[in-house]
Amino acid sequence: MAALPSDPLHASASACAVPNTALPERLIAHLDMDAFYASVELLRYPELKGQAVVIGGRRMHEPVTLPDGTRRYARLRDYTGRGVITTSTYAARDLGVFSGMGMMKAALRAPDAILLPTDFEAYRHYSRLFKAAVAELAPVIEDRGIDEIYIDLSEVPGIREPVGHDPLGGVRAVAREIKNSVWRATGLSCSIGITPNKLLSKIASDLDKPDGITVLLEADIPSRIWPLHVRKVNGIGPKAAAKLQTLGIETVAQLAAAEPALLVAQFGKSFGAWLHEAAHGRDKRPVVTHSEPVSISRETTFERDLHAVHDRAELSHIFTRLCEQLASDLTRKGYQGRTIGLKLRFEGFHTVTRDLTLDQPTQDAQAIRRAAGACLKRVSLEKRIRLLGVRVGGLSRPGSPEAEPKRRRANRGDSAKPQPSGTSPQNLALF
């Protein structure tokens, strides 16, 4: 295991330290793993540390071990297709290559960047490891995805005790202890933002990446938050940011200075009021320790548009694999579902969904495939297919009251608009 990150906090609170009553009642942390997927890959290929590496390739981009024991890596310039980058190392980001960017576009910016395939089984493994390590120190955790969590630190022992002359020393010491535990469990670094609420902590965790600790209180908002672009606020997307720009609002400070009535008039009562509150760093949302998923899905975007007849075998194989993966997800997570959904995206990005509600919930791959196949027969497949997805909703736990059979059938959304059976003979070719 590599050495722990350096710890600047060698002092500890004395036994008679008085809790710091100046701290807010709530202390919420947002922990974000640093370039998570890429960092996991660097554990496997440590010789790539410090290099521009892009994650998002296919199996054909696996490194090749040469007779002398060295490895030959695929380069981004050799990629063909329309895949997108899952993540990239910080060295690649310095070259303008970021997650969500198309591979071909990224190749123009960093043609010599090393390309690696994704390995989600490995990422899920390390995700479980880092979350378990945090839970041993601070058990009140809200899981926000594979590489990030919120942590309620309000009642963690030592959090309110000053260290030496630093009133926030206890906060920083707890954060450092969490980071060290994550490092020991995974060999990976993370960044932590600690503030009075989730909104500010999400912003703070990104301010001193990588391997950073950022502690902000209400008094720090004008100096640390207001100079930022509005897009740094989680919940303000590109469309809202573009509209704010037309109003002459680009920074959080400008948003905070805007009249609430103007924001409500432009964005509606709910979102307009939220914009005003968010700009002033106000957020009362609790850390939610558990929530039940609404649905579980699997989907894939093809490297090329596939034809329902000419690519029948390939589509059939992909469809079966998606249903098997989805069934495995349901079994592993302990769910079954009653509503089976199909998602198709065609050339031109036209998307169609079809749902079918079964009499009894299932987690069986064949049953899911049959139901999704029935949905497909109500779709015209005259255009080539870009994306195929399968979803299971109406989730319940086996043996729960919700899992009892219900003698009814219901269609939702586009499902209520079946296509005439004779309009698309291609759909029969796929199944």
Residues annotated catalytic, as ranges: 148
CATH number attached to the domain at 227-279: 1.10.150.20
DSSP label at residue 187: S
SS3 322: helix
Reported CATH class of domain 37-118: alpha beta
Q: Residues 297, 326: contact at Cβ < 8 Å?
A: yes
Residues 6+ apart with CB under 8 A from 69: none
| pLDDT higher than 90, residue 182 | yes
Residue whose tokens read 């039940």: 292
The architecture in CATH of the region 295-430 reads 2-Layer Sandwich (3.30)
3 state SS of 94: coil
pLDDT above 90: residue 58: no
Mean pLDDT on 182-191: 97
Q: Where are the domains of the chain?
A: 28-34+122-223, 37-118, 227-279, 295-430
pLDDT for 292 equals: 76
Q: Which CATH class is domain 28-34+122-223?
A: alpha beta
Stretch 340-360: mean pLDDT, rounded? 91
Closest CA to 205 of 169, 241, 234: 234
Parallel, antiparallel or unpaired: strands 87-88 and 385-396: unpaired
**pTM for the structure as a whole:** 0.71
Residue 3: pLDDT above 80?
Answer: no
SS3 content of the chain, % helix, strand, coil (to 5): 40, 20, 40
The two structure tokens encoding residue 191: 């960044």
185 neighbors 141 (Cβ within 8 angstroms): no
State CA 83 to chain mean position distance: 18
Tokens encoding 83:
């895949």
Report residue 177: phi and psi, to 5°.
Answer: -65, -40
pLDDT band at 341 (very low <50, low <70, confident <90, very high): very high
Phi and psi dihedrals of 171, rounded to 5? -65, -45
**Are the C-beta atoms of 32 and 87 separated by less than 8 Å?**
no
Residue-level pLDDT at 151? 97
pLDDT at 282: 96
**One-letter amino acid identity for 207?**
L
Q: Furthest-apart CA pair in the chain: how many Å?
A: 82
**What mean pLDDT do residues 267-282 have?**
96
Q: What is the pLDDT of residues 359-417, one digit of tens each?
A: 999 999 999 999 999 999 999 998 999 889 999 999 998 877 666 665 444 444 443 33
